[in-house]
Amino acid sequence: MTTNTPSNDAFAIDLPAVQMHVAKPDQPIIGKVVRSELCTLGGKKSAGIVRHVEIDISGTLMAGSFRAGQSFGIVTPGLDKNGKPHKVRLYSIASPTGGEDGSGNILATTVKRVHHELDEDHTLYDGVASNHICDRQIGDELRITGPNGKRFLLPARPAQHDYLFIATGTGVAPFRGMVRELLDSGIDRNVTLLMGSPYESDLLYHEDFVKLAQEHERFTYVTAISRQTVDGRPKEYVDGALNRIADNIKPSLLSGDLLVYVCGIAGMELGVLRTIATMLESDPEALAGYIDCDAETLADRDSWDRRMIHRAVKPTRRVFLEVY
């Protein structure tokens, strides 16, 4: 996993204080599944299986302890192939800070079932924790740790910024919570969510985001479909879609008001940073607010690779990365 490791403090953003590790792996709290449903646009026809799962944690140490953008851990019962307890797997909280109920008693997450064919004998390996969560029925228990994370958060003073959230797959989970929190707060700021998926049927919470965009003038919802042509638009990744909406985003980048959040498949951040670099190439001062890199590296951006991020290509504190 890569999280934000900012290059310097010049563009530091005040973040709220958070609680962490209230429930530790040796003493997880017990939550109860209260809702579990597919959240792909295509439902059962979608290529991937992704479920929206809500968990009641009322009466536990973790009730009211989390903020949007944090994650929590799942302790799966049983032992791994070495006879050791399964390692904790992390899942993003998909709820606003107040949870689904407004009081921090019900948290949601967005879980993709992991399946993987083993090369040697073609047998199917099922991911341990993702399938454990998705197999639970209403009323079943889950062992939960956390909360985790202190950087991938909304700022302490949200009304001072505009927001660009860029997600692939279940990377949209924290943004479901953050977007709702910002829109519910009534701030008069631009909020853009750019969601990428291979097929339109794999889009997550699509109908909810379309509805939010209809209800909130300053919320823009954009999709990038990479393996299918939709409405005559060519196939594109999130960086292509970002380039498509560059004119809408650029004023906020130039003023430095924009906070950029990227969450999802490891590697997606490269194209996003490259596109921002291209958008701000003619304004080095504005670019320095988002990416710290020298002129030679900037000119050679077509050959950037992931290993350069946080080294030669350093996102500033206005860029929040969580890729896994």
**Could you list the residues that contact ligand FAD (CB under 6 A)?**
1, 71, 81, 89-92, 109-112, 114, 116, 118, 125, 127-131, 170, 173, 322, 324
Q: How far is the CB of 116 from ligand FAD (least distance, A)?
A: 3
Residue (110 or 197) nearer to ligand FAD, CB:
110
Cβ-contact 261, 152 below 8 angstroms: yes
Closest residue to bound ligand FAD by CB: 127
Question: Exposed, middle or buried by CB within 10 Å (0-12, 13-18, 19+), for 129?
Answer: buried
The span from the CA of 160 to the CA of 3, in Å, is: 23
Complex with ligand FAD: residue 126 or 141, whichever CB lies closer: 126
Q: Kindly state the smallest distance separating residue 187's Cβ from ligand FAD, in Å.
A: 25
Minimal distance, residue 111 CB to ligand FAD, in Å: 4
Report in angstroms how near the CB of residue 90 gets to ligand FAD at its nearest.
4
Q: Determine the distance from the C-alpha atom of residue 110 to the mean position of all C-alpha atoms in its chain, rounded to a whole number.
A: 10
CB nearer to ligand FAD: give 6 or 149: 149
Nearer to ligand FAD, 71 or 190 (CB): 71
Smallest separation (angstroms) from ligand FAD to the CB of 261: 13
| CB of 87 or CB of 157, closer to ligand FAD | 87
What are the b/e assignments for 247-271, b being 16+ CB within 10 Å? Answer: eebbebbbebbbbbbbbbeeebbbb
Distance of CA 268 to the CA centre of its chain: 12
Token representation of residue 190 = 């631009």
Cβ pair 309, 315 in contact under 8 A: yes
